[in-house]
């Protein structure tokens, strides 16, 4: 399957413009905080991925099936139900950090936060930085 088949690709939309268009005032405020915070924690460039995800960095993947493409290294999406953070490649060895984080739920590579102010932002930085370091060490091609 070719990279062109991937639905989530970088767009030319400004992350600031996307955030400005959010209806929920709290999500908008949290998204503005996270936009600056992710750049500080990761040192990676921000860009929109698809219509609603703000990603930082980019890496190329290729599965055994032949499917390949590019994806963000980390990022977030201000969803109505929860602020969703993308922690790649998932949570291997992060149980101690997750236990210190505060209220959250996890998916395969998603970290769901109901309220940003309810979690320990320093622990969140450890989690994001660990994921980025792992991606940098284990991906053949990536860029800031």
Q: Could you tell me the domains of the chain?
A: 3-143 (3.90.1150.200)
For residue 6, the model assigns a pLDDT of 67
What is the DSSP track for 35-55?
Answer: HHHHHHHH-PPEEEETTTEEE
Residues contacting residue 103 through CB under 8 Å, at least 6 positions apart: 113, 114, 115, 118, 119
Residue with tokens 């998603």: 110
Please name the residue that has the structure tokens 């395969």.
108
At residue 2, the pLDDT reads: 44
Pick from 60, 54, 73, 57: nearest CA to 13: 54
As given in the structure block, the two tokens for residue 49 are: 């991925």
C-beta separation of 15 from 35 below 8 A: yes
pLDDT tens digits for the chain (144 residues)? 444 456 788 999 999 999 999 999 999 999 999 999 999 999 999 999 999 999 999 998 888 888 888 899 999 999 999 999 999 888 888 999 999 999 999 999 999 999 999 999 999 999 999 999 999 898 876 776
Quick check: 79 and 20 in contact, CB under 8 A? Answer: no
CB neighbours (10 Å) of residue 62? 12
Crossing angle between the packed helical segments 25-42 and 121-138, to the nearest 10 degrees: 50
Q: How far apart are CA 113 and CA 30, in angstroms?
A: 11
pLDDT at 55: 97
* Predicted pLDDT at 60: 87
Whether pTM exceeds 0.85: yes
On the question of a cis peptide bond just before residue 89, with omega within 30 degrees of 0, the verdict is: yes
Write down the pLDDT at residue 90: 87
């Amino acid at each position: 399957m070719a990279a062109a088949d991937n639905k989530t690709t970088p767009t030319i939309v400004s992350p600031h413009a996307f955030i400005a268009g959010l209806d929920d005032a709290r999500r908008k405020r949290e998204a503005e905080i996270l936009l600056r915070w992710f750049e500080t924690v990761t040192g990676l460039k921000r860009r929109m991925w698809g219509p609603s995800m703000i990603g930082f960095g980019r890496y190329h993947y290729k599965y055994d099936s032949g499917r390949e493409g590019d994806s963000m290294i980390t990022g977030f999406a201000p969803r109505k139900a929860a602020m969703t953070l993308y922690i790649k490649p998932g949570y291997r060895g992060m149980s101690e950090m997750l236990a210190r984080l505060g209220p959250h739920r996890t998916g395969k590579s998603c970290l769901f936060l109901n309220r940003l102010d309810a979690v320990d932002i320093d622990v969140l930085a450890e989690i994001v930085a660990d994921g980025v370091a792992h991606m940098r060490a284990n991906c053949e091609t990536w860029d800031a």
